[in-house]
Amino acid sequence: MNEAERDLDVRLMRHAIAEARSARPSPLPPAAALLVGPDGEVIAAAHRADATQDSPELAAIEAAGEIPEGSSLVLTIEPPNEEDSESVDAILKAGIKRVSIGAIDPNPEAAGGAATRLKEAGLSVEVGVAGGEARALIAAWHKVVTQGLPQVALKLALSLDGRIATRTGESKWVTGPEARVKVQQLRAHCDAIAVGIGTALSDDPRLTVRDDALLVGGRAPSRVVFDTKLRLPTNARVVETAHEVPTWILAGADAPQDAEQILVDAGCEVMRIAMTAEGRVDVGAALQQLAAKGVLRVLIEGGAELAGSLLAGCLADELHGFVAPILLGPRGRPGAVDWAGPDKPADAPRIVDPSWEVCGKDAYVYGRVAYPES
């Protein structure tokens, strides 16, 4: 393959990745397929719109109708290799001679299987085209498949002195409207949005995504409250709207049964989760439960205690911090994250390669978190 052909391959793969990103088909990974004619023109494009839809290669082949000689297929992810999957057979039947694949299936039992079958059938198969971007597209699904845990993003909106609320516990609003729009967009890319019961009681948040922020297709993110003892009242906004948007309450094994019944009657789902030695919902076990419920990506929105447990367990993959140019004090109250913390700054969890943006009057810093001690 010459350089021009390689460039075209990468350009087409990026086109397919952008197509895949237009939907959030959890618990399946985003995926897209392009059917490309002999001159590099896109004849048909298809993406997985929701979890009921199987593989976009089938839709692209069908949409193309007549397939010209010398056509190729661009796939963001390797087709499924299960016996009942029609994908490989459909590709062979369509007479396609070349397939370019972004990411290999992370499932150890399936990895590379379909690519090998296509090669053995005589097709030219290129694997890892725009590989970093294609793997990033399915990173959350990759984590669920390989670790049984969802991808976890932690959001903090804090003052310059590292506080998330005033001395009265008020946090509306620490940051400005532009930052809050960004938070809406973060929510729109998640399958669940979680808070601790402290936040649910003090802020009474709705934890929904505004319609104008729904840039991607997919079901509304579920609202999750970490509430060991089931203290959430039925007049909380998340409970009052539980029939419209899924509301999951993560409770300890010994939370009162009658409190569970009241919340269930109000439309919530109560999940009993293993507890820590301190008698709280175990965050790791809770995340496993969310993965089992089909959550690929969760946004944890605080407060300080829940954020502390998450960081103490090295469980946040990404940090999204919004820093407002204000000072809140107050003496004696915990900062944005309530935990023991490291002995030395060098041992602190940190954003490895931070991106900084100005967001209205606030600063927005985000990126992947690394835990030096782990």
Looking at 11-19, 34-42, 58-66, 165-173, which segment touches ligand NAP (CB under 6 A)? Answer: 165-173
Q: Following DSSP, what letter does each residue of 337-369 receive, concatenated?
A: S-S---SSGGGS-EESS-EEEEETTEEEEEEEE
- Residue 62 Cα distances to 43, 52, 71, 346, angstroms: 11, 17, 14, 55
Contact (Cβ atoms closer than 8 angstroms) between residue 186 and residue 218: no
Does residue 324 bind ligand NAP (CB under 6 A)?
Answer: no
End-to-end CA distance of the chain: give it in Å, rounded. Answer: 42
CA distance 134 to 20: 10
CB-nearer residue toward ligand NAP: 101 or 200: 200
Pick the binder of ligand NAP from 24, 47, 182, 280 (CB under 6 A): 280
Q: Per CB under 6 A, does 288 bind ligand NAP?
A: no
* 199 near ligand NAP, judged by CB under 6 A: yes
Beta carbon nearer to ligand NAP, 76 or 228: 228
What is the amino acid identity at position 102? G
57 is catalytic: yes
Q: Which residue in 306, 315, 328, 369 binds ligand NAP (CB under 6 A)?
A: 306
Strands (E), 69-122: 72-77, 98-103
Q: From CA 265, how far away is CA 84, in angstroms rounded?
A: 40
Tokens 């793997």 map to which residue? 135
Instruction: Verify binding: residue 197, ligand NAP, rule CB under 6 A.
Output: yes
229 counts as binding ligand NAP under rule CB under 6 A: yes
Instruction: By CB under 6 A, name the one of 140, 195, 259, 291 that touches ligand NAP.
Output: 195
Q: Write down the catalytic residue from 19, 57, 78, 318.
A: 57
- Residue closer to ligand NAP (CB basis): 141 or 226: 226
Active site residues: 57
Residues that bind ligand NAP (CB under 6 A): 156-157, 164-165, 169, 171, 174, 195-199, 202-203, 226-229, 231, 280-281, 283, 301-306, 309, 338
